[in-house]
Amino acid sequence: MSYKESLKSFFIRFKRVIIASGLCVLAMAIIGVVAYKSTNQVTINKNEMVQTSAPTSVSFIMPIKDGEIIKDFSNTALKYNSTLKQWEAHKAVDIKGADNSDVMAVLSGEVVSVESNYLKGTVVTIKHNKSLQTVYASLDENVKVKVGDKVKTGDVIGKVSTSAKSESNDGAHLHFEVLVDNVKTDPNLYLNLGDK
Ligand SMILES: [Zn+2]
């Protein structure tokens, strides 16, 4: 092989190496784009999942006619509890109405529990579907429903009271919770509270 020929063959090999590396870079770029797109896809799907389980298709009536929110929901921010004299998260909304206000089922469902305890007073829980439940605490002990009752939106289940000893300083009111898969969730997502 002459000097010229070997130089030529060197350049041919050199060219192949360049082309090969170029292809590698291109392939990696394509893989990168595909991977990025599929990650985005997952995010989009996640959002869709969140949206489908979000409460857009369900909306409640107010459990108390002309009810006024006296303490709003807080997941982590601390709110002062003047009865227990402590700061705490309040995973519910407290709603006050006129004296002896009726408390209504916010949506049709089945009563799954009626119980009493010192801190929350008389508590009725209604199951609306597989994952959604509403909890009505601080009710007067004379509740109008029992376990197994089917209720319709607006059916009266009891009256407000000060039975929840953990919130009795706030006067007669309803301590209203929303459970989504047993997790206390912001009732504002379901209630149309207007300018509360
Ligand atoms: Zn409360």
Cα(73) to ligand 1 centroid in Å equals 8
Cα(172) to ligand 1 centroid in Å equals 11
Cα(38) to ligand 1 centroid in Å equals 44
Mean pLDDT for the chain? 83
Domain at 57-189: CATH code: 2.70.70.10
| Encoded amino acid at 99, one letter | D
Check residue 42 and give its pLDDT.
42
Cα(94) to ligand 1 centroid in Å equals 5
Distance from C-alpha of 17 to C-alpha of 8, rounded to nearest angstrom: 14
Cα(90) to ligand 1 centroid in Å equals 6
Q: What count of other Cβ atoms lies within 10 Å of the Cβ of residue 68? A: 14
Cα(97) to ligand 1 centroid in Å equals 14
Average pLDDT of the segment spanning 144-170: 95
Distance from C-alpha of 108 to C-alpha of 149, rounded to nearest angstrom: 11
Cα(8) to ligand 1 centroid in Å equals 86
**What's the pTM value of the predicted model, to 2 decimals?**
0.69
Local structure of 58: helix, strand or coil: coil
Between 71 and 55, whose confidence is greater?
A: 71
Cα(113) to ligand 1 centroid in Å equals 19
171 contacts 185 by C-beta, under 8 angstroms? no
Average pLDDT of the segment spanning 87-113: 95
Cα(150) to ligand 1 centroid in Å equals 26
Segment 1-54, tens digit of pLDDT: 566 777 677 677 777 777 777 675 777 776 666 555 554 444 444 443 333 344
Segment 132-142, tens digit of pLDDT: 999 999 999 99
Cα(48) to ligand 1 centroid in Å equals 32
Cα(91) to ligand 1 centroid in Å equals 8
- What does each C-alpha distance from 86 to 3, 7, 58, 77, 161 come to in angstroms? 92, 86, 34, 13, 22
Cα(58) to ligand 1 centroid in Å equals 23
